[in-house]
Structure 1
Amino acid sequence: MEEVMDGSFDEKSMLHSQAQVWKYMLHFIDSMALKAAVDLRIPDIIHSHAAAQPITLSQIAAAIHDSPSPDTATLSRILRLLVRRKIFTSAVRPSDGATVYGPTPASRWLVRDAELSMAPMLLFQTHPLSMAPFHCFSRCVKEGGFAFEKAHGKGIFEMAAGDPEFNKSFNDGMESVTQIISKAIVSGYGGDGFRSVGSLVDVGGGTGAAVAEIVKAFPHIKGINFDLPHVVATAPEYQGVSHVGGDMFVSIPSAQAIFIKWVLHDWGDEECVKILKNCREALPEKTGKLIIVDAVLKPEGDPIFGDISYVTDLLMLAHSSGGKERTEEEWKRLLMEAGFPNYNIIQNIAVASIIEAYSQ
């Protein structure tokens, strides 16, 4: 981009920058198209036929549940955009000229019946209650305060506790991405990180998917899933895992190691120090280990996930009461204040990093 002497920009730069603004202004339509496809289970339908052959529009429409006469014109327009976004493929079948649709690696992550699926998280993030706080960013700049509370009059955890449908969407979304990152952690960190651990508490562990994956891979570990009572009340049973309800701001069950994934970024610095001090008290004096799974912001971004952590920082602005993503220096200050003078960062375990912290 070239700026001329009077402070204006050349015509080509202005044209490209206009296109850039259009792109970001309308990005929400991509999200809504994905939501519609997942609501209709289009990825499931396409992947279920993929082993045999690509599938036509009419075949997709016929497979949509609870829809005796789907609007295929609307469906084709949604699919056309998602093909352009490389969520699905399309081709013209030589035998009859019909357009047929196929899967891609991206659509594989949106199959709701798959063992590893991002579909529940997509549905949670595009839930109307989840979207509303983003409209409050400018108010937060002018007035201070928290976007979710401005939109709904209460925080996200209070909302989930009083709204069973939203609570289920929240838990399903968290569990889906937990399964994905837990497998990555077990594969990329588990051999050295968990082999010497005898007992492990997952603080803010939701319905227990993460600690269950760890215990499954390392059955010698006694796993404890710790979260708010209304959260663990809906948790399934897992072999080797016990569910404990409580408040991490009051106390945390004792264990040889504490695992805390995507929890601290929900809270401001003062709250994080309180949680971390409770973690410190729950660990053995000399041999305990704290395992934090969270983003570590880097100016250069991540080679695979790019600037996702900078985007999720604004997600924290929308959904949390003071939460944020942090740089290494910010993590260091929190850990030191909470009694963890030594730490080690393992970068790029899936979309997050691991921070190992020790009291000695």
Structure 2
Amino acid sequence: MVKGQVAIWRYLFRFADSMVLKCAVELRIADIINSYGQPITLQKIASSISRSSSLDIPSLARIMRLLVRRDIFAAYQPSEGGETLYGLTYASRWLVTGFESNLASMVMMQSHPLLLATWDCIGQCIREGEMPFKKAHGVEMWEMASKNPSFNKLFNDAMECNTKTVMQAILGAYKDGFEFVGTIVDMGGGTGGMIAEIVKANPDVRGINFDLPHVVATAPAYPGVEHVGGSMFESVPAGDAIVLKYVLHTWGDEDCVKILKNCRKAIPETLGKLIIVELVLQPEGNGPFDDIAAIFDVMMFAHQPGGKERTELEWKNLLAEGGFPRYNIIKIPSLPSIIEAYPN
């Protein structure tokens, strides 16, 4: 009974961990410590945040105490009576915005009030069969992004930082997967960060970044990459291979089949393939990302109409119905896996 009570208390206050993590990103604590190149005192952190006399240093100390307990930062006592020094850990390294791969923008997006509000609607939406994001805001996320430039930027920044993280794993574990490919279409490619990295690593490849018009409108120019606006439900630019990173998990099965059939029309009968970068749920798995994948599955329910993560069997059935009877799953050192799918 005591263990059960402890478990409920722990899960009850998980939101506090998220909010304190957001606080660390907002105050740029990881960036500040990293700029010194070594552990530093609380006073140095505080003075780098603000030189205002109103800065609440005692409360900052309490925030740091929790972050140290969560292994986000490390605390060192250099000598008896000396000031505590705070340093980076493997976790807080992912909050340093100066590093190419970081998750700071993802922290800011997932802790944004617009997304947090959707979680409050889950119970009601299960009872009434509605979609939490639309229940909370009256519109779906894509419509919100198209009408709200600041939210659109927040979303694009989060997707870009996640793309950089995943791309390291893809280019390391799947570098041979882009051989013999002339044109690659990144469908739902956002502002083009992923296809730009693929083209950079494979200079002979022509890249097409395909997404909604309001998304590609803010995309920067990249060598060897063409930005194309449109709807994946209408048609897809032709290519030898099509990449879909975190696209299909935002849609229900019926919509995914439509997307897959459009992809099937856009690639060659022979040698054409899909490169799907998505989670493969392992409901009983105990791998390093399996618990996070289960959380992602509920998050997709909260944020997207019909959105969900899928098991291998679900992927197999979905791909077959969409015109891709053959597939191969490649695990990479990241949250998603690579699913190669072939039309024959």
TM range (shorter): over 0.9
SS at match of 1:105: coil
Q: Does 1:329 align with 2:316?
A: no
1-side partners of 2:281 and 2:100: how far apart? 30
* Residue in 1 that maps onto 2:88: 103
When the two structures are superposed, what TM-score results if normalisation uses the length of structure 1?
0.93
* AA in 1 matched with 2:334: A
* Residue in 2 that maps onto 1:31: 18
2-side partners of 1:119 and 1:73: how far apart? 25
1-side partners of 2:81 and 2:192: how far apart? 50
2-side partners of 1:179 and 1:146: how far apart? 30
Shift of 1:112: 1.6
In structure 2, stretches of 5+ residues that fail to align are none
Q: Does 1:267 align with 2:269?
A: no
Of stretches 271-280 and 60-69 in structure 1, the one that deviates more from structure 2 is 60-69
| Change in CA separation of 1:114 and 1:315 when aligned onto 2, cut-off 3 Å | same
Q: Does 1:159 align with 2:144?
A: yes
In structure 1, stretches of 5+ residues that fail to align are 1-13
Shift of 1:95: 6.8
| Change in CA separation of 1:145 and 1:220 when aligned onto 2, cut-off 3 Å | same
Shift of 1:307: 1.2
1-side partners of 2:311 and 2:245: how far apart? 16
Q: 2:284 aligns with which of 287, 295, 300?
A: 300
CA contact (8 A) 2:283 2:290 kept: no
1-side partners of 2:94 and 2:52: how far apart? 24
1-side partners of 2:280 and 2:92: how far apart? 28
* Residue in 1 that maps onto 2:135: 150
Q: 2:5 aligns with which of 7, 14, 18?
A: 18
1-side partners of 2:269 and 2:225: how far apart? 24
Q: 2:304 aligns with which of 292, 309, 320?
A: 320
Deviations 1:20-76, CA, capped at 9 Å, x for gaps: 010000001001000001001000001111x2x421111101001585531101101
2-side partners of 1:325 and 1:181: how far apart? 17
How do residues 146-225 of structure 1 correspond to structure 2 at under 5 angstroms?
A: 146-191=131-176, 193-225=177-209
Of stretches 284-293 and 77-86 in structure 1, the one that deviates more from structure 2 is 284-293
Deviations 1:110-140, CA, capped at 9 Å, x for gaps: 0122211100011000000011100011111
- How many residue pairs get matched? 344
Q: Does 1:116 align with 2:80?
A: no
Runs of 4+ residues over 4 Å off in structure 1: 65-68
* Residue in 2 that maps onto 1:76: 61
Shift of 1:302: 5.2
SS at match of 1:244: strand
| Change in CA separation of 1:312 and 1:66 when aligned onto 2, cut-off 3 Å | farther
| Change in CA separation of 1:65 and 1:278 when aligned onto 2, cut-off 3 Å | farther
When the two structures are superposed, what TM-score results if normalisation uses the length of structure 2?
0.97
SS at match of 1:225: strand
Q: 1:41 aligns with which of 28, 31, 39?
A: 28
* Residue in 2 that maps onto 1:249: 233
Q: 1:278 aligns with which of 262, 271, 275?
A: 262
| Change in CA separation of 1:90 and 1:138 when aligned onto 2, cut-off 3 Å | same
SS at match of 1:80: helix
Q: Does 1:350 align with 2:334?
A: yes
* AA in 2 matched with 1:132: A
1-side partners of 2:54 and 2:47: how far apart? 8
1-side partners of 2:209 and 2:180: how far apart? 19
Shift of 1:305: 1.6
Instruction: Report percent identity of matched pairs.
Output: 56
CA RMSD of superposed structures (Å) = 1.2
SS at match of 1:250: coil
1-side partners of 2:270 and 2:82: how far apart? 71
CA contact (8 A) 2:173 2:332 kept: no
* AA in 2 matched with 1:277: K
* AA in 1 matched with 2:273: K
CA contact (8 A) 1:183 1:213 kept: no
CA contact (8 A) 1:204 1:226 kept: yes
- Of structures 1 and 2, the larger Rg is shown by 1
Shift of 1:303: 2.0
CA contact (8 A) 2:329 2:337 kept: yes
Deviations 1:219-262, CA, capped at 9 Å, x for gaps: 11100000001101111111111110100010000000000000
2-side partners of 1:78 and 1:179: how far apart? 29
Shift of 1:96: 4.9
* Residue in 2 that maps onto 1:131: 116
